[in-house]
Amino acid sequence: MRHLLGTTDLSREDAILLLDTAAQMAATQEREVRKLPTLRGKTVVNLFFEDSTRTRISFEAAAKRLSADVINFSAKGSSVSKGESLKDTALTLQAMGADAVVVRHWASGAAYQLAHGGWLHGSVLNAGDGTHQHPTQALLDAFTARRHLVADPTGQGLDGLTVAIVGDVLHSRVARSNVHLLNTLGAHVVLVAPPTLVPVGIEPWPCTVVHTLDQAIETYDIDALMMLRVQRERMSGGGDAFFPSPAEYSRIYGLDADRMNRLPDHAIVMHPGPMNRGLEISAEAADSPRSVIVEQVANGVAVRMAALYLLLAGEEGAQ
């Protein structure tokens, strides 16, 4: 692997390799000394064009535990507000000798452009681009689901499992990344969303779409239920709202105790965070024993360690 830009072109072998490597990384985090010397001398730049403290510190922790040097580059603004352009930023990072660039950007495709623009030679790791892809989030979700739902997980996919993803699919890079990765790993994906939040042109996606959460729970044996965050701007009043009111959304798409209790006993509840408690997920669901939401955060570090390791040290290790 040269870059990690999305999940659509990730092979099953590579996906499982990433998950297995993440498992090894997670095991090292149980030790007293958690720092590994693997990426000593490598420079990882966290290039964030969009605020995301959670994702940034997760990548920062991952890189530091592999002994890489980490530079945090917060480039808010960008060419829209006539700040520094993506190209100039990339040339700057190239001049500084970045071995890997972890990029979070508000524009779909920015990670692809960084990787293919000919501006820099290092590996590009997409930490979320617009409403396009967020591959490490999908990998940590798959990793978490595999840990809980697959016996003897090493080397395994998610074959035969059903994962339901609920919420704003239209604007969600998490949903886009998960649909393809989960499908690649053998899971059946059920998307649950109001029709206004399902993209036109979704037909080729390898998933099923239903329009109420109750229907999804009644129809499918859900093994993992993933609740997506609802952005405030999607529900602003007037002609731009995608649904009539937060209350109506919560009634039809929210995960409350009643709906949670109708899930199969083994089913887990996931959320990429940060949660809107009381909107897409109730406190009972978020804090229940089924919830693996806090564990997702911990697994995020292991998955990002695996991604950085495979991008930066993988080939040398194979030689």
Partner 1 sequence: MSRPIVIKNASLYGDTPATLLIEDGVITTVAQDAASIATPDDAVVIEAEGLVALPGLVDLHTHLREPGREDAETIETGSRAAARGGWTAVHAMANTNPVADTAGVVEQVYSRGQEIGLVDVFPVGAVTVGLKGEHLSEMGAMANSKARVRLFSDDGVCVYDPVIMRRALEYVKAFDGAVVQHAQDLRLTEGSQMHEGVVSAELGLAGWPAVAEESIVARDALLAEHVGSRVHVQHLSTAGSVEIIRWAKARGINVTAEATPHHLLLTDESARTYDPLFKVNPPLRTQSDVDALRAAVADGTIDIIATDHAPHASEDKDCEWAAASFGMLGLETALGVIQKVLVDTGAATWRDVARLMSETPARIGMVDDRHGRPLAAGEPANVTLVDPNATWTVDAAQLASRARNTPYGGIELPGRAVATFLRGVPTHLDTQLEGAFA
Residues of this chain that interact with partner 1 (CB under 8 A) are 8, 78-80, 85-87, 105-110, 112-113, 116, 129-133, 173, 176, 199-205, 239
- Residue tagged active-site, from 31, 53, 82, 121: 82
| Helical pair 173-184 and 135-149, crossing angle rounded to 10 deg | 50
54 labelled catalytic: yes
134 labelled catalytic: yes
- 200-213 in b/e form (b: 16+ CB < 10 A) is eeeeebebebbeeb
Shortest Å, Cβ 86 to partner 1: 6
Nearest to 39 by CA among 112, 98, 110: 98
Instruction: Confirm or deny that 273 is annotated as ligand binding.
Output: yes
Q: Position of tokens 């859900």?
A: 222
Instruction: Confirm or deny that 82 is annotated as ligand binding.
Output: yes
Instruction: Confirm or deny that 104 is annotated as ligand binding.
Output: yes
232 labelled catalytic: no
- Residue tagged active-site, from 42, 56, 65, 104: 104
171 labelled catalytic: no
Long-range contacts of 229-237 (CB under 8 A, 24+ apart): 229/167, 229/168, 229/271, 229/272, 229/273, 229/274, 229/275, 229/276, 229/280, 230/167, 230/168, 230/276, 230/279, 230/280, 231/168, 231/171, 234/168, 234/171, 234/197
35 labelled catalytic: no
Cβ distance to partner 1 smaller for residue 34 or 116: 116
- Residue tagged active-site, from 134, 176, 188, 234: 134
Cβ distance to partner 1 smaller for residue 8 or 156: 8
- Residue tagged active-site, from 7, 38, 55, 89: 55
Instruction: Confirm or deny that 37 is annotated as ligand binding.
Output: no
The residues carrying an active-site annotation are 54-55, 82, 104, 134
Provide the annotated binding site for carbamoyl phosphate. Answer: 54-55, 104, 134, 137, 273-274
